[in-house]
Structures are given as C-alpha cells and as structure tokens.
Amino acid sequence: MADFSIELTLNGPEDKKKTYRRSFVPFRLLKEAVKIQKLAGQLGEEMSFDEETVDNLADFVVAFYGDQFTREELLNSAELSEVMGVFNQIVSRIGNPNPNPPPAA
C-alpha cells in the first residue's frame, strides 16, 4: 500500500503551530463517517450544518488523531478549510481503501 499521511495544523498562542499526522484510517471511523454524511447531506451536494453536525465532525477529527487534542482545541485552533479537507481525505480513503492494488498474478 502506498504511503500517505493526513495532516492537520492547530494554531496556538503567539503563532505557535502544532501539526498532527496520521498515516492510516482506523476501521472504527467508518461508522462515524457514515453518520456525519447522513447528518450533513451527501458529499458533493451543498452541506448544511447544525450544532450537532459540527460537534460530530469535530469529535470525528479528534478521534482520527487519537484524542491528542480536545474538541474545544480543534474548534478554537483549526482552520475551517483544513478540518473539512481532513474529513474529505478520510472519507475518500474509506471509499477507496487500496488506491494501488497489487498487480494480478
């Protein structure tokens, strides 16, 4: 399987930044990804958010990075587009878990 990494940078006080990386998507996140997609509408369509969806998305991203930061830290320190990019990368990876299958023998 090809190497890949999904990164997220949190902005701290005094412009200090911390970057988190994860190189695999735990299978347990599949259920949560499906739940978030149902709450927010189908990807590719305009997504509508309410507080519950935002909280679920934040919890999903926190869980993906192994609870290395809290929901509040994510909400206060992450760039919106980067969080959505992380979610989209995870969903893409779930939809195509082996983008480079081994050649047939």
Mean of pLDDT values over 73-79: 96
- What is the b/e burial string over 4-24, where b = at least 16 CB atoms within 10 angstroms of the residue's CB? eebebebeeeeeeeeebebee
For residue 72, what are the CA distances in angstroms to 21, 22, 33, 65, 94? 19, 20, 20, 14, 26
Label residue 104 by pLDDT band (50, 70, 90): low
Instruction: Point out which residues pair with 7 in neighbouring strands.
Output: 21
pLDDT value, residue 1? 47
Closest to 19 (Cα-Cα) out of 33, 39, 5, 30 = 5
Least confident of 40-44, 58-62, 91-95, 101-105: 40-44
C-beta contacts of 43-51 below 8 A and 24+ residues apart: 43/88, 43/91
State which amino acid sits at residue 51.
E
Residue type, 23: S
What pLDDT, on the 0 to 100 scale, is given for residue 42? 44
